[in-house]
Structure 1
Amino acid sequence: MAEVAQDPRRAALADWLAGVAPGSRDLRPASGDASFRRYFRLDTDGGPRIAMDAPPAQEPLAPFLDVTARLAAAGVHVPRVHAADTDLGFVLLDDLGTRHYLDALDADNADALYGDALYALVRIAAADSAGLPPYDRALLAREMALFPDWLLDRHLGLTLDGAQRAALNAVCEALIASALAQPQVFVHRDYHARNLMLTEEHNPGVLDYQDAVRGPLAYDLASLLRDAYVNWPEARVRGWALAYRDRAVAAGLCAPTADDDFLRAFDLMGVQRQLKVLGIFARLWHRDGKPGYLGDLPRVLAYVEAVAPRHPETAPLAALIGQLDLRRRLQEAARPCAR
């Protein structure tokens, strides 16, 4: 109880839960994330639940509640909302369990689990996206700017010269053009192994979708299969990507597309996302004091190193990474000093 008393928002959450969840008890941390949101697990007379604490000034609840309703209507397994207070920033949700895909995946079950995830992704892409923020040129460019601003400059102390900056800008323009040329659908925006829960029924349970937008068909696919937290042999990744293409065509989300054309769009979308992720993980340390993501930077960079040389649009990025010796520099910066 002393811990609750020293945390005013947690104390307020406990008071709110006493009114909306009969028999609520044993409020305990479940997880945090890369934002201001926090999650708590509790027991109630109706069974286990998850309580979300989303400070209204930083994490308004309206988008979360709106997107939850859209995905549920599309048949996606998202937590049911039992109670919500947008003024306080509290939500009471179903508990989808404790086993993330990241904990469950192995070489033997990956085909089955990714098969479930790809079926769910088709439902997500087909969900109502009317009125969602567009994944437009400005947003795509703003995301990729995180790479030079936070990874290169702030984290590694590197400043691009004029020619290097021009080369990176040209790559980013090509990535934007590819993204905008794709069918525009409902995009979860963070669809990966840490946000998918292994469930006995309607697998997987899907979390952390409140930043959904209307954008490129391949974005969530790249997020899932070029995951910052787990990687797979390239042949398996490309097989899963083409299986998704087939399901998207069958669902009317896109026209039939040649394998090479679809995989090129998938590759380019992945590079856009990885540039964003490299910048975000560096920003989480330098701005937010969260070093836990720094260990994932080499894996993310490896995706870019592997994919960029395949396509003329991204080959200059591969050359730039070599010129800057980014892999060595990341290794040298891997252990931040305590603040």
Structure 2
Amino acid sequence: MPLSDPRFLQLNAWVNQYFSTNVSPELISGDASFRRYFRVVVGSVSYIVVDSPPKLVPITPFIQIAESYSRSGIPVPKVICSDTKQGFMLLSDLGDVQLLSVLNPSNLRQYYQQALLLLNDIAKVIATDQAPLPIYDDEFVLRELNIFTEWLAVHHLGLSSDEVGAQTDMAFQVLTENVRQQPQVGMHRDYHSRNIMLQDDELRVIDFQDAVIGPVTYDAVSLLRDCYIRWPEDNVNELMLIHYKQVIEAQLLPVEVSFSQYQRWFDLMGLQRHIKAAGIFARLNYRDGKPAYMADIPLTLEYVRDIASRYPELSRFSQWIGNVIIPAVKAKK
């Protein structure tokens, strides 16, 4: 890293206070936020060092939720030491293998079933030692949906807010009501194949600092209708049914809830997440200078178009996405 990078110089000094030998952190990645990740190797042991500017992404939520998840048996990185004022953490190293990189049609069911089972434990974490997790309420849901309006439709495509509102207001109301109807559980909130690591053929969970209390289908649809890869509907439906039976058995869903009701919740929850994600990908480009995520917008919008078309109350919205938004996004490439 360049010597002109003051954050790196602070990080380097901090991590060298921990080890008795001199170490030099090597950058391995940034992510969709303002965090950066470095690796240091001491003898035969590898560690991850996190640089998370405290005014932009405070590390306290990560540390608190990591403790709660670990106590509940959820495999997460161990926080070895931290400095909340500077925004630095030293973590155990879970390796470089994202689940996304190893998935294929032959192992899809095996790994996704394991990932779905982890959601039973995640669902039970509804508080840290310090406070209950935030509630994913109507205001929260609409704030996320409006990221699509502000950053993709208006900022990126140049549509007017009034035009967008005329097409989205009713759909957003349906999606908000869908969240309210579902049983509420502990929710990772970004549970997909890039946030699940594979280490010694075991799944490990990362990027959980935004955990909230929210609808029972949210994390499952995040996983099975991933913004970064799309699987055949037969595979998704089979795994959806597995999760439905799983949450009933775990008493996270009342036995009287039919599979068709669960599937509606699942589908509409996925729509809310994908609409939000498309907006976030545009925001990452324009606000944060991270253009690579723009390539993920078309797949995300295709999910929105296809799933919304299955529900009469969302058919007009689906047509607008398919006939106006997707062509406009592709034309902007």
TM-score, scaled to structure 1: 0.93
Offset from partner CA, 1:112-164 (integer Å, 9 cap, x none): 111111111221112233611110100100110111211111111122556x6
3-state SS in 2 of match to 1:208: coil
Amino acid at match of 2:102: A
Alignment partners' CA distance in 2, 1:21 and 1:238: 50
Report how far residue 166 of structure 1 moved: 3.6
| Equivalent runs, 1:93-172 vs 2, <5 Å | 93-129=91-127, 131-159=132-160, 161=162, 165-172=165-172
Contact 2:146 2:276 in 1 (8 A): yes
3-state SS in 2 of match to 1:5: coil
Indicate yes or no: 2:50 matched with 1:57.
no
Instruction: Indicate how the Cα distance of structure 1 residues 24 and 96 shifts in structure 2: closer, same or farther if over 3 A, else same.
Output: farther
Aligned residue in 1 for 2:242:
243
Contact 2:304 2:321 in 1 (8 A): no
Offset from partner CA, 1:234-264 (integer Å, 9 cap, x none): 1111111121121111112111232211111
3-state SS in 1 of match to 2:53: coil
| Equivalent runs, 1:216-227 vs 2, <5 Å | 216-227=215-226
3-state SS in 2 of match to 1:36: coil
Alignment partners' CA distance in 1, 2:196 and 2:314: 30
Aligned residue in 2 for 1:269:
269
Amino acid at match of 1:235: D
Contact 2:182 2:215 in 1 (8 A): yes
Aligned residue in 2 for 1:284:
284
Contact 1:187 1:214 in 2 (8 A): yes
Amino acid at match of 1:291: P
Offset from partner CA, 1:204-249 (integer Å, 9 cap, x none): 1111111111111111111111111011001111111121121111
Contact 1:147 1:276 in 2 (8 A): yes
Indicate yes or no: 2:299 matched with 1:299.
yes
Note the aligned Cα RMSD (angstroms).
1.6
3-state SS in 2 of match to 1:316: helix
Contact 2:148 2:279 in 1 (8 A): yes
Indicate yes or no: 2:35 matched with 1:37.
yes
Aligned residue in 2 for 1:337:
none
Alignment partners' CA distance in 2, 1:262 and 1:22: 55
Instruction: Indicate how the Cα distance of structure 1 residues 268 and 246 shifts in structure 2: closer, same or farther if over 3 A, else same.
Output: same
Identity, in percent, stands at 40
Contact 1:24 1:43 in 2 (8 A): no
Contact 2:126 2:212 in 1 (8 A): no
Amino acid at match of 2:317: L
Offset from partner CA, 1:158-180 (integer Å, 9 cap, x none): 22556x62441111111111111
Unaligned segments of structure 1, at least 5 residues: 335-339
Alignment partners' CA distance in 2, 1:22 and 1:140: 48
Offset from partner CA, 1:266-320 (integer Å, 9 cap, x none): 0000000111011111111111221101111110011011100111332221122
Alignment partners' CA distance in 1, 2:195 and 2:293: 15
Amino acid at match of 1:80: K
Amino acid at match of 2:7: R
3-state SS in 1 of match to 2:111: helix
Contact 2:12 2:24 in 1 (8 A): no
TM-score, scaled to structure 2: 0.95
Contact 1:41 1:50 in 2 (8 A): yes
Contact 1:70 1:128 in 2 (8 A): no
Unaligned segments of structure 2, at least 5 residues: none
Aligned residue in 1 for 2:174:
174
Report how far residue 323 of structure 1 moved: 4.6
Instruction: Indicate how the Cα distance of structure 1 residues 238 and 227 shifts in structure 2: closer, same or farther if over 3 A, else same.
Output: same
Alignment partners' CA distance in 1, 2:21 and 2:43: 5
3-state SS in 2 of match to 1:11: helix
Instruction: Indicate how the Cα distance of structure 1 residues 21 and 180 shifts in structure 2: closer, same or farther if over 3 A, else same.
Output: farther
Report how far residue 26 of structure 1 moved: 3.8
3-state SS in 2 of match to 1:150: helix
Alignment partners' CA distance in 2, 1:20 and 1:328: 53
Contact 1:22 1:44 in 2 (8 A): no
Amino acid at match of 2:268: L
Amino acid at match of 1:249: I
Report how far residue 46 of structure 1 moved: 6.6
Alignment partners' CA distance in 2, 1:243 and 1:37: 35
Q: How many residues align?
A: 329
Alignment partners' CA distance in 2, 1:25 and 1:215: 42
